[in-house]
Amino acid sequence: MKFTNARPIILASASPRRKEILSLLGLPFTVQPSHVSEDIEMTTDDFAGYARELASKKTMAIAEDYGDHIVIGADTIVVHEGKHYPKPESKEQAKLFLRELSGKTHAVITGVGIFVGGTLRVFSVETAVTFRELDDILLDAYVESGDPMDKAGGYGIQTAGALLVEKIEGDYFNVMGLPIARLTEHLRRLALINLKEGDPFIDY
């Protein structure tokens, strides 16, 4: 498949994983990290809404200077039993996170913002991830590898963190940080990308 795009695309994220996923569309795009703080106080138990809020802020931080572009921003959070698990600040915190998630099912929620033509649209996708019962040797070795330190929840499903996972229910790429199938659906419906002339867009 080869898509074409109606306007230049900017990915408002420094994440190499999101860059890799967006590249699946085969479209040219530039990366412009937003550098928006992720330390926004969570004043609600609406975790999906929180992820959408962060995605909105990241998207708009770049869109302000690139109004004629398609700007895509995203934020991914990990949640279990009403608790938010951000990127760990230390190896000790990473171990704590992973021990608490061991043998349990948690939610990975990604909020995505799309800005174009003066309008921001935001959506979120949730995937359920179940961890195996983690033994201390595996857990310690994974944390010592350094892999957990830049990832929400303290693990990456696309790296050695896959060894911690029993199963997932939902979008694998959402766990990586960008639900590309849903994003593609939105971009096509907005007539921002297409496969060929006459592609049946549904503008909304």
In the numeric block, which tokens belong to residue 31?
């990366």
Residue 87 forms part of a structural domain: yes
Residue 121 forms part of a structural domain: yes
Q: What is the pLDDT of residue 2?
A: 80
Q: pLDDT category, 92, cuts 50, 70, 90?
A: very high
Query: Inter-axis angle of helices 91-101 and 136-144, to 10 degrees?
Result: 140
Q: How many domains does the chain have?
A: 1
- Which residues, including other chains, have CB under 8 Å from residue 203's CB and lie 6 or more apart? 189, 190, 191
Tell me which of 29 and 198 has the higher pLDDT.
Answer: 29
Domain that holds residue 42: 4-194
Of the candidates 61, 133, 178, which has an alpha carbon nearest to the alpha carbon of residue 187? 178
In the numeric block, which tokens belong to residue 157?
């499903």
Q: For 134-159, b where at least 16 C-beta lie within 10 A, e where not — what string?
A: beeeebeebbeeebbeebbbbbbbee
Residue 201 has pLDDT above 60, yes or no: no
CATH code, domain carrying 25: 3.90.950.10
Q: What is the pLDDT of residue 204?
A: 42
Residue 63 forms part of a structural domain: yes
d(CA 102, CA 43): 27
**Can you tell me whether residue 109 is helix, strand or coil?**
strand
Residue 199 forms part of a structural domain: no
Residue 27 forms part of a structural domain: yes
Residue 25 forms part of a structural domain: yes
Contact in structure between 34 and 59 (CB atoms under 8 Å): yes
Tell me which of 78 and 197 has the higher pLDDT.
Answer: 78
In the numeric block, which tokens belong to residue 58?
């990241």
Q: In this predicted model, what pLDDT tens digit does every residue of 71-85 receive, in sequence order?
A: 999 999 999 999 999
Q: pLDDT category, 40, cuts 50, 70, 90?
A: low
Q: Write down the residue that tokens 């961890």 correspond to.
A: 131
Whole-number Cα distances in Å, 100 to 30, 103, 104, 132:
38, 8, 8, 12
Q: In this predicted model, what pLDDT tens digit does every residue of 108-118 receive, in sequence order?
A: 999 999 999 99
Tell me which of 125 and 2 has the higher pLDDT.
Answer: 125
Residue 51 has pLDDT above 60, yes or no: yes
Catalytic residue among 39, 45, 65, 75: 75
Of the candidates 101, 128, 122, 125, which has an alpha carbon nearest to the alpha carbon of residue 174? 125
State pTM to two decimals: 0.92
Tell me which of 197 and 161 has the higher pLDDT.
Answer: 161
CA 19 to chain centre: 11
In the numeric block, which tokens belong to residue 63?
């869109």
Is there a catalytic annotation at residue 75?
yes
Residue 200 forms part of a structural domain: no
Residue 34 forms part of a structural domain: yes
